[in-house]
Amino acid sequence: MKKYDTGTAIFTALIIGIVFSFLFDKIFVLIIVGFLSTYLSKEKNSGIGATASLCLGMIYFFFHLIQIPEVPDWISRSLGPDFLTFSLSFMLICLLSMFLGGIGGFIGSSVRKNEK
């Protein structure tokens, strides 16, 4: 199988991850993206999987930020913008996606080591 540069592998894994997010759970997709980006790249580094999953996690975060939730009117009137919750949720999404992508990247690098 042809090995790609790091940027091409991350971009390919992101496209596949966005398609898979319609079919599977998003946590499972973050692991798949980490695996694919590490498996497709020339380097055997699990950090590539963590970076790809971080990018996909940020895409998920900003997509769901602009998506309007379905909540009752009395709840939506009592809620207001809160910078602390926004920043903590962004950091949590980043940490979790990097952790799950690192797991997928570790699996991808160990599969590549066993191939040769």
Structure tokens at 111: 């599969």
Residue 22 has pLDDT above 80, yes or no: yes
Task: Flag the least confident range among 3-7, 48-52, 64-68.
Answer: 64-68
Nearest to 108 by CA among 33, 51, 55: 33
DSSP letter assigned to residue 21: T
Main-chain dihedrals φ then ψ at residue 68, nearest 5 degrees: -85, 125
Q: What is the pLDDT of residues 60-77, one digit of tens each?
A: 998 887 776 677 777 766
- Residue 106 pLDDT exceeds 80: yes
H helices present in the chain, as ranges: 6-20, 26-40, 46-66, 73-78, 83-115
Average pLDDT over residues 99-103: 93
**How far is it, in rounded angstroms, from Cα 92 to Cα 60?**
13
The more confidently predicted of residues 82 and 28 is 28
Q: 41 forms bridges with which residues in the sheet?
A: 4
